[in-house]
Amino acid sequence: MALARRFPGALAMALARPFPGALAMALRAGGRGARLGSEPRDAGDSPRHRDLREALRKIIDKEINPFVDKWEEEGQFPAHKVFKILGQAGFLGVDKPTEYGGMGLDFSYNIAVAEELGNIRCGGIPMAIGVQAGMATPALTRFGSHELKKQFLIPTIAGDFVACLGISEPGAGSDVANIKTTAVRKGDEYVINGAKMWITSGSQADWMCLLANTSEGPPHRNKSLMCLPMNLPGIHVAKKIDKLGMRSSDTAQIFFEDVRVPCKNVIGEEGKGFTYQMLQFQEERLWGVATALTQMETIIQETIEYTRQRKVFGQPVLHNQSVHFRLAELATELELLRSLLHRAVALYVEGNDVTKFASMAKLKAGRLTREVTDSCLQFWGGMGFTSEVLVSRFYRDLRLMSIGGGSDETMLSIICKYMDTLPRK
């Protein structure tokens, strides 16, 4: 009854379906987000959002964080196992329709999930969960046929399938329009040739949301997104890439050699793939910013705790004015970014195009993650240079905020377009 009052409509209905799991149990218990304290911060921090976050936090603390160091060392986390746990509890489809196993909530709840995932003690696992729940599936959810959603979306939300997103290539990352992979129509199939690079979860994935050229037309109108099962003949996972950071997330290079996929696997309309992907990027960028906010907050907090107990020249490091001024400044920047994120999310939930604000938030997050991790690592002295502390892991992992899903320069180019400062073609 209390549950139905707090979660009218879709969520209550979703909770009645056979995926009650940890989320439903915690919601029934009426939990509250302990970490956030009592200050309501924004529209994405209602009691309902906090209940969701608290339920997720329990899973993170029990099923993920105790194993992170091991998975980082091994260079891969078991995506099927972790996603099944998250899927059963409902966290892989918070904003997806109930018809396909989701909770039918709005996008701000997905952002609450992304923020909470920032409490995982590495960057790689939240990134891979982000691909699954917020990057490989928005276009399929919005434009895919019922059949495709039954085949790919339902098992992805349930955590039975691992999804990956195939956009970047060896010769094209920032310049998405310039990808070379082709999908040539032969009868009722496409024949795919080419390669994808930097594919998160690529060596464990069951399917890929693939962007390929399906005609010779102009580069913004010749591409299609399609659901590609990863067990088809002609798909070769060439190598798992050894990386500076995000070590527990597998990142693969993948080749396609005459891979045949049914034409009905195209998401929405053929030729609209570039446009769909640009829309999909909005969610990817907002998701990434949300996770990074929590990661930065944790680093600042752990730095305060460390410098409070570490004495240098007879007093805690923290008590030097230059140290606490710097931490205060970083915390202020973080709150500004949080405000921008939630403004963008609120506008997006209302149905607006938020490409400009999502790009601004992603740009700021790219810059700020570097500043926060660099400044904080300095205050840890020699300890900051060891693998024992989270700050050194995030110093490596969060460097990706300025590259992945579009570099800082790509964000600046998009913002410029919206400001109409670029020469018109």
Active-site residues, by number, are 284
| Residue 123 binds to ligand FAD (criterion: CB under 6 A) | no
Among 179, 300, 400, 411, binds ligand FAD (CB under 6 A): 400
C-beta nearest to ligand FAD: residue: 173
Residue 40, C-beta contacts closer than 8 angstroms, at least 6 positions apart: 46
Site for ligand FAD in 244-303 (CB under 6 A): 246, 251
Q: 354 and 410 in contact (C-beta within 8 Å)?
A: no
The answer to whether the Cα torsion of 232, 235, 238, 239 is positive or negative is negative
Q: Return d(Cα 74, Cα 386) in angstroms, integer.
A: 18
Q: 132 and 204 in contact (C-beta within 8 Å)?
A: no
The smaller minimum CB distance to ligand FAD, of residues 196 and 338, is found at: 196
Q: Return d(Cα 200, Cα 210) in angstroms, integer.
A: 13
Question: Closest distance between ligand FAD and the C-beta of residue 17, in Å?
Answer: 30
Beta bridge partners of 226: 210, 266
| Residue 404 binds to ligand FAD (criterion: CB under 6 A) | yes
The smaller minimum CB distance to ligand FAD, of residues 88 and 203, is found at: 203
| Residue 366 binds to ligand FAD (criterion: CB under 6 A) | no
Among 324, 407, 415, 418, binds ligand FAD (CB under 6 A): 407
Structure tokens at 125: 């696992």
Q: State the number of binding residues for ligand FAD (CB under 6 A).
A: 24
Q: Which of 51, 41, 53 is nearest to 331 (CA)?
A: 41
The smaller minimum CB distance to ligand FAD, of residues 16 and 416, is found at: 416
Q: 405 and 362 in contact (C-beta within 8 Å)?
A: yes
List Cα–Cα distances, 194 to 147, 188, 211, 220, in angstroms: 27, 20, 11, 18
Question: Closest distance between ligand FAD and the C-beta of residue 160, in Å?
Answer: 20
* DSSP notation for 300-339: HHHHHHHHHH-EETTEEGGGSHHHHHHHHHHHHHHHHHHH
Site for ligand FAD in 164-223 (CB under 6 A): 164-168, 173-175, 198-200
Question: Closest distance between ligand FAD and the C-beta of residue 267, in Å?
Answer: 15
Beta bridge partners of 172: 169
The smaller minimum CB distance to ligand FAD, of residues 165 and 327, is found at: 165
The smaller minimum CB distance to ligand FAD, of residues 294 and 410, is found at: 410
Write out the residues near ligand FAD by the rule CB under 6 A. 131, 164-168, 173-175, 198-200, 243, 246, 251, 400, 403-407, 409-410, 413
